Structure 1
Amino acid sequence: MNQKAQLRQPNLFYEILKGLFSNKFIAFLLVLIFTSSLALVQITHFTRQQLIQQDKLLQQRDELDLEWRYLLVEEEFYSQHARIEEVATTQLQMKRPTSKDEQVVVLP
């Protein structure tokens, strides 16, 4: 008896598909909607990946900029005249020449 009841009831999924695909224009629009929704998901995913990459690159740029500033400060520190003179006198035991140490070379 249960089988007879199933045979008399229409299959709802089959009836919906049959109604949708009976008109080719509606079927085309349905396929177009599915295609555009999948494209939208793909583009959104790609955009998010690009934003994440951009954030990483901006962070790397900031780190490099900070390192560059530290290097500029260090360069200025090492290029100061007083620092150079101090290193020359203490580490290299250099001194300013006196007039006795000077020699004049005359070129013909």
Structure 2
Amino acid sequence: MKTEVIAEVAEKTESIRKPIQKWVTYAVLILLVFISAMMVVFEVFEYRHDYRQMNSYLRDQDDLNAEWGRLLIEQQTFGATAQIGTRAVTQLRMYSPPASATVVISLPASDKNK
């Protein structure tokens, strides 16, 4: 009789435990799906943030490349100016006059009160 009662109680607890175990399994799976979905959302957000930052860096790089090109042109211009001066002295025999041969002309000051 005792064994029958124990078997009956074991059957009842088993019949209660199986649905609870099933619901706990479902709850854990739903929780894992929710966590996975939140991680996907977070990764997409992070990807978009990084992509915007990369585009910003690429724009900065383009701006710096354009400035570098302008500086190279400026350097070539100044290099050409020195080259022109050198050629003027060597090929055309041009020179700057000495200070004694230089004449400075100054205009008379005009009266602003008239």
Give the TM-score of the pair, scaled to structure 2. 0.54
Question: What is the percent sequence identity of the aligned residues?
Answer: 23
CA–CA distance in structure 2, aligned partners of residues 42 and 59 of structure 1? 26
Q: Mapping of 1:1-108 within 5 angstroms?
A: 23-80=23-80, 81-82=83-84, 94=96
Give the C-alpha shift of residue 25 in structure 1: 1.1
CA–CA distance in structure 1, aligned partners of residues 29 and 46 of structure 2? 25
Bigger share in helix: 2
CA–CA distance in structure 2, aligned partners of residues 20 and 67 of structure 1? 70
Letter in structure 2 aligned against 1:51: Y
CA–CA distance in structure 1, aligned partners of residues 22 and 86 of structure 2? 91
CA–CA distance in structure 2, aligned partners of residues 84 and 34 of structure 1? 77
| Deviations, residues 27-73 of structure 1 (Å, cap 9, x unaligned) | 11000011011111111000000000000000000000000000000
Give the C-alpha shift of residue 23 in structure 1: 1.8
Structure 2 residue runs without a partner (length 5+): 1-18, 89-94, 98-114
- RMSD after superposition: 2.6
Higher Cα radius of gyration: 2
SS at match of 2:28: helix
Give the C-alpha shift of residue 94 in structure 1: 3.2
The number of residue pairs the alignment matches comes to 71
- Structure 1 stretches of 4+ with a deviation exceeding 4 A read 19-22, 83-86
